[in-house]
Amino acid sequence: MKELMTGNEAIAHGVRLSRVQLVAAYPITPQTPIYEKLSQWESEGKLGGVMVRVESEHTAMATCIAASLTGVRVFTASSSQGIALMHEMLHFASGNRVPIVMGCVNRALAVPWAFGSDQTDTLAQRDTGWIQFYCEDNQEALDTVIQAFRVSETVCFPSMVIIDGFYTSHFMEPVEIPPQEAVDEFLPPLPMPNRFDFSVPAFLSNVVGPLDYFRFRQRSFSDMAHSMEVIKRVDEEFGRTFGRSYGVLEGVHLEDAEAVLITSGAITGTARVAVEELRGEGFRMGLLKIRLFRPFPAKEVCRLLEGKRKVGVIDRNISIGQGGIFCQELKAALYPMATRPLVQNYIAGLGGLDVPVELIKEVARDLMGRDREEGPIWMAEP
Amino acid sequence: MLEIKFYGRGGQGAVLASQILARAFFKLGMYPQCFSIFGGERRGAPVESFLRVDEKRIRLRCGIKNPHHLILMSPDLITPEVLSAVRKGGMILVNAETLPETVKGVGECDIALIDAQGIADRVGLGRALNTAVLGSYCRVHGGIPLHFLEEAIKEIIPSRIDENIEAARIAYQEVSIYRRSKGNGA
């Protein structure tokens, strides 16, 4: 069934269809409508699970971790300062290997105070040991919530399902709501044989010596690397069941592309239109969408960009003192290639600044005329 | 693809107007995408709301700078910049008792006039004049049968549904249209 809904509502539908048993969250713009929708369904008896009111995002995550350890399926959502406040608990979640799914709606971090989309809030959580999916539109957000529960419960790592503030969270468009029975079959009840049992008291998050800590981290690293195959398999199975799959990356017109734009999140949609227009004007442009950021699909990126001469990475995020974060990751991934493409970074859309088709075409024209790299180029309409 | 911009003041229902119209288009089998500019949501503050409609899936995720259709819910917000952004061959629908001189001066656009505030007052809706504006828009657009709008209103408006439908019906009849463009801009 198709229904008109916002990206926030799409995430809420994914949560409802996943039969989440507990939601602990704290409101913050632009994520609040997720919270409101779930609260509304809870009050109408349509949610199945319970909402837990908490006093902060830090407590929201602590509550999710504790609940998840007892073997129930949990969800939370946040943005910006809320994610920043959760930071400490994000490490506890991945260290305890709990399969929490969090909806993240990108919003600029203070100061200055702003509301618009900026991926720096979730990218700043890069090293917390969470899986990160960056979604392009509302349908992908709904589908990815369901996929993320399946992945997280298989590999025992928490997942972030990330959308852009306003450009996805508040854009309303038609979304296919998958049938509950099909979702139930795809996502069976949470299997947690080692769940916390109150009748057998135990202690978690213990203190260990350096070697145990070292081995624990090593194990987390290799398990996260192995999760790549699970993520691909789950997406393929989702495609066979529901007719939609996304891959960890998506290439558009890469076969004959002389120059390739790299995007993530909502900017990808607009970039698709820009690339089609450029091709219509005779330019052999390609597009590579990065959907999965952790684990980073390094080998897959190298394979898709083999033989390409020029790559332009558009980042709606910034690591002050270095540059765009997707660009840094991409450059590191491309390093083993025998012949690397020129990689130019473009910073655009910070704080929710609009990134229209014309601006992306300007990026592409700069890239095509370029014969050497320089520091990040800041792109904004006059 | 048709791009529509609503421009009004908080309390007039510009955000809901774009959502109701999106639903009417959706019922017609079209692919709508609507959104609003946020930041200053409060009574009386300027509010901008947008709607794209196409027959196929819309991939764009950016703002609308040059709409085909501009719907001015509050005549005191009209500025030369707002008017000049409308595409040539487009349409400007304004809520006012008489056509403002500034709007008359816009060339190569169809102009439509509706006293939506007067209709809202008559049926007892106060400041909420969005359904009257939508009724007149359906007439101007020419491709949205009124009952599709009425169904959308029923599904979205939380209260006083009868008054809102009445407002839309009256406005559909009372709108004045001045065809001056060669095309519809879409």
With residue A106 as reference, give the H or E element that holds it.
strand A101-106
Tell me what the mean pLDDT of segment B58-76 comes to.
Answer: 96
Same domain, A136 and A84: yes
Domain that holds residue A73: 2-242
Is residue B41 predicted with pLDDT exceeding 70?
Answer: no
Same domain, A275 and A193: no
- Provide the CA A236 distance to its chain's centre, in angstroms: 18
Which of B15, B62, B66 is the best mutation test for A, with the most CBs of A within 10 A? B62
Is residue B184 predicted with pLDDT exceeding 70?
Answer: no
- Cα distance from A9 to chain B (closest Cα, Å)? 14
For chain A, the domain total comes to 2
Q: Do A115 and B33 touch (CB under 8 A)?
A: no
Same domain, A190 and A295: no
All residues at 6 or more sequence positions from B27 whose CB lies less than 8 Å from its CB, including other chains: B148, B151, B152
Surface of B (36-55) touching A: CB under 8 A: 36, 38-39
Tell me which chain A residues have a C-beta less than 8 angstroms from the C-beta of B26.
4, 174
Class of the CATH domain delimited by B2-178:
alpha beta
Same domain, A89 and A35: yes
Give the model's pLDDT for residue A148: 98
Give the model's pLDDT for residue B38: 62
DSSP conformation letters of B108-156 = SSEEEEE-HHHHHHHHT-TT--HHHHHHHHHHHHSSS-HHHHHHHHHHH
Backbone angles phi, psi at A285, to 5 degrees: -95, 150
Which of A212, A242, A272 terminates a domain? The answer is A242
Give the model's pLDDT for residue B39: 60
Same domain, A71 and A173: yes
- Cα distance from B32 to chain A (closest Cα, Å)? 6
Same domain, A24 and A170: yes
Is residue B172 predicted with pLDDT exceeding 70?
Answer: yes
Same domain, A367 and A346: yes
Question: Three-class SS of residue A137?
Answer: coil
- Convert the pLDDT of each residue in B125-158 to its tens digit: 999 999 999 999 999 999 999 999 999 999 999 8
- Provide the CA A324 distance to its chain's centre, in angstroms: 16
What is the Cα Rg of chain A in Å?
A: 21
Same domain, A272 and A203: no
Which of A222, A242, A262 terminates a domain? The answer is A242
Q: Which of A166, A171, A267 is opposite residue B33, by nearest beta carbon?
A: A171
**Which CATH number fits the domain that encloses residue A266?**
3.40.50.920
Tell me which chain B residues have a C-beta less than 8 angstroms from the C-beta of A172.
19, 22, 32-35
pLDDT by residue for chain A (382 residues), tens only, comes to 999 999 999 999 999 999 999 999 999 999 999 999 999 999 999 999 999 999 999 999 999 999 999 999 999 999 999 999 999 999 999 999 999 999 999 999 999 999 999 999 999 999 999 999 999 999 999 999 999 999 999 999 999 999 999 999 999 999 999 999 999 999 999 877 778 888 888 888 889 999 999 999 999 999 999 999 999 999 999 999 999 999 999 999 999 999 999 999 999 999 999 999 999 999 999 999 999 999 999 999 999 999 999 999 999 999 999 999 999 999 999 999 999 999 999 999 999 999 999 999 999 999 999 999 999 999 998 7
**Which CATH number fits the domain that encloses residue A215?**
3.40.50.970
Which of A242, A276, A295 terminates a domain? The answer is A242
Backbone angles phi, psi at A367, to 5 degrees: -60, -45
All residues at 6 or more sequence positions from A160 whose CB lies less than 8 Å from its CB, including other chains: A101, A102, A103, A104, A122, A125, A130, A131, A132, A133
- Convert the pLDDT of each residue in B95-110 to its tens digit: 999 999 999 888 889 9
pLDDT band at B40 (very low <50, low <70, confident <90, very high): low
Q: List the one residue out of B24, B73, B77, B82 whose CA is nearest residue B53.
A: B24
CA distance A298 to A304: 10
CA distance A186 to A240: 11
- Provide the CA A257 distance to its chain's centre, in angstroms: 26
- Cα distance from B101 to chain A (closest Cα, Å)? 30
Q: Which residue of A has its CA nearest to B33?
A: A173
Amino acid letter for position A343: V
Tell me which chain A residues have a C-beta less than 8 angstroms from the C-beta of B23.
4
Give the model's pLDDT for residue B44: 80
Same domain, A97 and A208: yes
Provide the 8-state DSSP code for A76. E
All residues at 6 or more sequence positions from A74 whose CB lies less than 8 Å from its CB, including other chains: A20, A21, A22, A23, A24, A64, A67, A68, A98, A100, A101
* A375 contact B CB<8A: no
* B58 contact A CB<8A: yes
DSSP conformation letters of A145-197 = HHHHHHHHHHHT--EEEEEETTTTTS-EEEEE---HHHHHHHSPSP--TT---
Is residue B42 predicted with pLDDT exceeding 80?
Answer: no
Give the model's pLDDT for residue B15: 92
Same domain, A237 and A254: no
Q: Diameter of chain A by CA atoms?
A: 70
Strands (E), A31-85: 50-53, 74-78
Asked if B91 and B109 count as a contact pair (C-beta separation under 8 A), the reply is yes
Tell me which chain B residues have a C-beta less than 8 angstroms from the C-beta of A136.
61
Which of A6, A171, A264 is the best mutation test for B, with the most CBs of B within 10 A? A171
Which of A4, A5, A79 is the best mutation test for B, with the most CBs of B within 10 A? A4
Q: Which residue of A has its CA nearest to B20?
A: A4
Burial bucket for residue A164 (CB in 10 Å: 0-12, 13-18, 19+): buried
DSSP conformation letters of A275-344 = HHHHHHTT--EEEEEE-EEES--HHHHHHHHTT--EEEEEES--BTTTB-HHHHHHHHHHTT-SSPPEEE
pTM: 0.96
